[in-house]
Structure 1
């Protein structure tokens, strides 16, 4: 990976952490302390001054109730809602799923 790719990843990571933390409604300081780190830890990540270790990244994901995979999928704005929807969708039978798909297609069609 080129340095520019890594720099871009760090920026996206920091933005993702900030947006997910805000969705949860907690301060950076509170989150830092809740995961057992110094008061400025999350703030340093969000400001691009540091990156978490793999273990701390897992703590962050647990704290935010998100899988590491969903955290790193920068294209999903609200992964918790997406996951909730998928869990509910998976509980439907075939006919109900077809109905949901049809409604979704109509909504998207009307959006264009």
Structure 2
């Protein structure tokens, strides 16, 4: 399910999430903020809003995501919320470690 992210009338980013039918995992597929809106305090509240929406929409006990291995800011944000690395790697354009959030810990 794709979502545009706005601050008032200004489009600042995009998120998509849903059930991966191949793995039977609920995933935060992407969370992107426009370059001009990064490091402005949007990340944490947006991430929390997406997780809260997923919890309302789906019977998810866990949420998974992958992140580009050297995106330290994103990894810090995800770990701050409670995502933990699974040890799995998704191979795409870059190796992407997979993280899991246990909704009981959120």
TM-score normalised to the size of structure 2? 0.25
Between structures 1 and 2, the one with greater helix share: 1
Larger radius of gyration: 1
TM-score after normalising by structure 1: 0.24
